[in-house]
Structure 1
Amino acid sequence: MTPRIRTLALACAAAALAAPLVTAPAQATPTPPRTGFEETNGARWTSRPEEQALLATVDKAAKRVSVARIGTTKQDRPVQLVRIGERPTKNTVLLICSQHGDEPSGREACLSTIRDLTYAKDKRTQRFLSRTTLLVVPTANPDGRAADTRGNSDGVDINRDHLSLQTAEARAMAAVIRDHKPDVIYDLHEYGSTPEFYEKDLFDLWPRNLNTDAAVHGEAQTLSKAYVRPAAEHDGYTTGTYGIWTDPVTGEPVKQVAGDGQERILRNMSGIKHAAGLLIESRVNPLTEAEKKDEALNNRRRVTSQRSALGGLFDYTDERRRQLEAATGAARTEGYRDRGPVYVGGADNDPAEPSETIQDPPCGYRLNAAQYGDIKDELALHGVTVQRHKSGAYVPLRQSARALVPLLLDERAPYHMVTARPDMVC
């Protein structure tokens, strides 16, 4: 792997941290804004007013950047989408930053990355942005970030709401995925370590859901194992597979504590919606004595490790765009062939039981008027094709969202929204 974009990203970050706080002369090139985190050298996290000021500045600074409100939280805070790119492109990457409000390092990495790509003038970055559209939701849970809580203002874990879409935050993200069809969905989080067994600087994990197309699944694993982890390790960070405890002596797996194939999690929903999804988790806990004594030092490590991993993502996107586009493009059309089982359980490391496999799926599902009225907005947000009737609606399986339909409507699916009537007559 050639660390082209990664090197640029880290150099920009270092320059931003080192930049003096001076007022630029009237005729000088505008000084790129810094985050509150950078201003204090990691002593505190960027405030909401500072974030809004930075986004307003980059929105005006370059034609390649636009900032839009895509949703509004219960406490009236904006959920925003930043688009960075020189022109419309085939290849689209979506960053979802800090879905959990008490996990701020991903948000900081996203904000500084937005700034760096806005002001970058080198040919390599401009070429990258001429072929890739980068979409960023810098604060996916604004109310939770304000309160420093995992959930939103109702206490709901947004990362368990990507199927039912009951929160304003998850609905906003679903609309972005539906409208932009990203090839990669990269989800930035943090985790609490368990000494000896589970304490890498960074963990990551691809979609484990068995309904993920095989080629898309393969690209997500390539992103993890051949790009994100090597990029982080090159910069001195340790990496591993999220949710798997390992023996500190042998390195062999001990037990799985997280990371199953649950469809309501964004990492898995990404695969179901034909994107190479990747969850990334930086370690919250200090490891060294220096980090224990200096909270800012620990905070900087949390953010810079995320930045290193993002560099691997950018290298992957730049070098494997053809393979990625081929995989996601084919997956989006496969559902129209309407064949093969649909899985309502299991994972890529946990084969589905017969009871978790719809071996011979129906041709579609019929909803009565009340059922359709209850979930029509959610079906639309998921991009599910629906045929309306006076008595309700018919949802065919022959569509791009083929595997998603039973997960929403079949009583055998653990998180289904309604129990629709299977129609076996095609």
Structure 2
Amino acid sequence: MVHLPFRYPRLLLAGLLVSALSPASAKFDAAEVYTESPSVAAHFPVPKGVSFTTPAFAKGKKDFTSQQEMERFIKDLAASSPALKVRVVAQSQEGRAIPLLIFTREGYDSKQWIAKNGKPTVLIVAQQHGNEPAGGEAALMFAKSLADGKEGDVLSRVNVLIIPRANPDGAEHFTRDLANGVNLNRDHLLLASPEGRAIAQVLNSYLPDVTLDAHEFSVAGRWVKKFNAVQGYDGLVQHATTLNLSVPLYQAMAGAWNTALSQAFKAHGLRDSVYYTTDQIHLEDKTLSMGGTGPDALRNMAGLRNSIAFLLETRGVGIGKAHFERRVWTQFVAMQAMVKQAAADPEALMTLTRDVRSEVAASAGKGELVVKGKATRGKHEVTLLDAQTGAPMTFEADWRSSLQITPEITRTRPWGYLLAPEQQTAVDKLRELGVEVYRLKQSREIPVERYVVASLEQGQKFDVTGKVGATGNKMTKVTTTLVKTELTGTAGYWYVPLSQPLANLIVAALEPETQSSFVANGVITLPAASEKAASLPLWRVTENIPTLPDLF
């Protein structure tokens, strides 16, 4: 078996800014801000008794925290707290540092030590979208609270990792996507960007038991156009909702963890709801949709990595710095609640995630899996605020629920997958995701199902609100049929067993029919469209192949 080396992240050295030089202020344009009516604004007072001391709240500052300001703030925190170590996990496409803050009671930061210190690990990722600054600011605020010892003794029971700015180029230019136009929060399966690969390295190395992905949602825009209203909730929350999630993990997220977040918001006078959005292209369509079911978003990918995983969105996109204290405080409350919930019973949390990993690995060759599915239509009550009067507008909306996924394609769960010898790109990508891949040393007959291509059609990737990013949206729609056969002459083929904890992630990558799959995105070679009844260089293994040293 060949392992790709893990390039261990560099220390963020005191006195050294590792990012490319950049202006001291982010490029935020106040002229593009939507101004809420006074009646709407009155719903969102500044939280009382809260001290905001991160860079964006400096006296006279009119924009948001710049890269250099963030780095200086983190360096000062690290100097003040023995519990904090900082590593740079990658450079962005424009050369800016992506720091990882590692909090442990003992002040150690190696992945080996954290894996063995008997405590669960919570990962907070903020600002995947550069124009959503509240999550990044709250991450700095929460880091300071941890560094200052204001979170009690939580570090005696949990480890906390924080990526305060996953998309530093987008933050610097105040744009949603990465420098190349790709939506980072749709790059956690294909890993087409250095930023996406950096997050994958953190997930592979530290195996977080809990993951929180911090975002902001649009307040006006499509909501005013469709409903003459604006969003009225402080926070919208959704746990992982993708195909083939472990049932015990799903139940924990939908139960105790959802409750813990909602109770924390209510305790601080904040209004919360399940996350939803609406199509921004077809204004006549007033259907509301929960976050998608695709495996490419971080919340869903973390779930497939057997982590308790949540998306948090606070109101903010399009309103500039309005209510910024309240937005940051809402994010802070959620981060604090997630860490407190993990610390409340760390042994039970670690037992859950350990058992889920074992359960997933033991399911190879058993039962069925859902290859493709869609959100289920229904009704759901929501409350918006009248854009002029601020009066609450509660109504029952047409709704697409990701909590109930309607299966479109189901198949038996194979024992694993075989890839043709020349599919090195797919093998490398799987290993970047943390998947174990073996190479057959000798030929043997292997019972398989081969994918016979029924149709190929060029298409575009779409989310519930439209395109998934400015670029990177081209894909090939693939339909296949399965034919049982035996594969011979298999020396040099790659074997990807499903008897491993990332089995459900493997399924998301290798089953061809979804827009996120390796086949649809050209990671696995497609046959020419003119080839009749052509097969993919990918097979489903229908009998167990023991991974013996003499075979691999």
1-structure distance, mates of 2:230, 2:199? 34
- Asked if 1 retains the 8 angstrom alpha-carbon contact of 2:128 and 2:166, the reply is yes
Matched, 1:216 2:249: yes
The SS at the match of 1:356 is strand
In the alignment, which residue of structure 2 is the partner of 1:14? Answer: 50
Deviation (angstroms), 1:386: 0.8
Q: Distance in 1 between matches of 2:203 and 2:88?
A: 15
Note the aligned Cα RMSD (angstroms): 2.3
- List aligned pairs for 1:378-397, cutoff 5 A: 378-389=429-440, 391-397=492-498
Structure 2 contact 90–98 (Cα < 8 Å) conserved: yes
CA contact (8 A) 1:74 1:168 kept: yes
Q: Which residue of structure 2 aligns with residue 404 of structure 1?
A: 505
2:370 aligned to which of 328, 336, 343: 343
Structure whose residues are more often helix by fraction: 1
Q: Distance in 1 between matches of 2:345 and 2:277?
A: 28
| Counterpart among 139, 142, 157 of residue 183 in structure 2 | 157
| Residue 267 (structure 1) aligned with residue 299 (structure 2) | yes
Deviation by residue 1:88-142 (Cα, 9 ceiling, x = unmatched):
442100000010011000000001111121121x6x62x2101110000010001
Native 8 Å contact 1:231 1:312 kept in 2: yes
Q: Check whether the contact 2:372–2:513 (CA below 8 A) recurs between aligned residues.
A: no
CA distance in 2, matches of 1:323, 1:260: 29
Distance in 2, Cα, partners of 1:218 & 1:369 = 40
- Check the 8 A contact 1:41/1:296 in 2, yes or no: no
Q: Which residue pairs with 2:260 in the alignment?
A: 227
- Once the two structures are superposed, residues 176-213 of structure 1 have per-residue CA deviations (whole angstroms, 9 ceiling, x without a partner) of 11111101110000001336584311100001113111
CA gap 1:62/1:422 in 2 versus in 1, 3 angstroms: same
Distance in 1, matches of 2:160 and 2:358, equals 23
The match for 1:144 is 170
Structure-1 residue corresponding to 2:324:
299
Whether the 8 Å CA contact 2:249–2:352 is kept in 1: the answer is yes
Secondary structure of the structure 2 residue equivalent to 1:403: helix
Which residue is 2:410 aligned to? Answer: 357
* TM-aligned CA distance change 1:190 to 1:273, over 3 Å: same
User: Are 1:327 and 2:352 matched, yes or no?
Assistant: yes
CA contact (8 A) 1:262 1:345 kept: no
CA offset digits 1:141-177 (Å, max 9, x no partner): 0111111111100010000111111111111111111
> In structure 1, the residue corresponding to 2:323 is in which secondary structure?
helix
Contact 1:86 1:129 in 2 (8 A): yes
Q: Give percent identity, aligned residues only.
A: 26
Query: For 2:124, which of 68, 74, 95 is the aligned residue?
Result: 95
- TM-superposed CA distance for 1:53, in Å, is 0.6
The residue type equivalent to 1:384 in the other structure is: V
> C-alpha separation between the residues in 2 aligned to 1:104 and 1:376?
36
Change in Cα spacing, 1:319 to 1:205, as seen in structure 2 (3 Å) is same
- 2:238 equivalent to 1:202: no
Q: Deviations over 1:325-367 (max 9, x none)?
A: 22211111112212232222335533333x4222x12221111
Confirm or deny: 8 A CA contact 1:99 1:141 kept in the other structure: yes
Contact 2:265 2:333 (C-alpha < 8 Å) held by counterparts: yes
Separation in structure 2 between the aligned mates of residue 190 and residue 162 of structure 1, nearest angstrom:
19
Q: Aligned to 1:106, which of 110, 131, 135?
A: 135
Contact 2:122 2:339 in 1 (8 A): no
CA contact (8 A) 1:219 1:324 kept: no
* Partners of 1:141 and 1:58 in 2: CA distance: 21
Is residue 216–residue 324 contact of structure 1 (8 Å, CA) maintained in 2?
A: no
- 1:365-384 C-alpha deviation (Å, 9 max, x unpaired): 1112221x112332112211
The CA deviation at 1:411 is: 1.9
Greater percentage in strand: 2
The answer to whether the 8 Å contact 1:369/1:393 transfers is yes
Contact 1:209 1:262 in 2 (8 A): yes
**Pair member with larger Rg:** 2
Instruction: Give the drift of 1:57.
Output: 1.5
TM-score w.r.t. the length of structure 1 is: 0.83
In 1, are the aligned partners of 2:231 and 2:315 still within 8 Å (CA)?
Answer: no
Q: Is the 8 A contact 1:42 1:300 kept in 2?
A: no
Residue 241 (structure 1) aligned with residue 257 (structure 2)? no
1:230 aligned counterpart, secondary structure: helix
One-letter amino acid matched to 1:119: D
Aligned match of 1:4: none
- Structure 2 Cα separation of the partners of residues 154 and 85 of structure 1: 35
C-alpha distance in 2 between matches for 1:238 and 1:42: 28
Please list every run of 5 or more consecutive structure 1 residues that lacks an aligned counterpart in the other structure. 1-9, 18-33, 246-253, 287-291
**TM-score with structure 2 setting the length:** 0.64
Partner of 1:76, secondary structure, is coil
Answer whether contact 2:233 2:271 (CA < 8 A) is retained: yes
Most deviating of 216-225 and 158-167 = 216-225
Q: Contact 1:83–1:135 (CA<8 Å) still a contact in 2?
A: yes
The alpha-carbon deviation at position 263 of structure 1 amounts to 0.7
Contact between 1:188 and 1:281, CA under 8 Å: does it hold in 2? yes
One-letter amino acid matched to 2:358:
T
SS in 2 for 1:333: helix
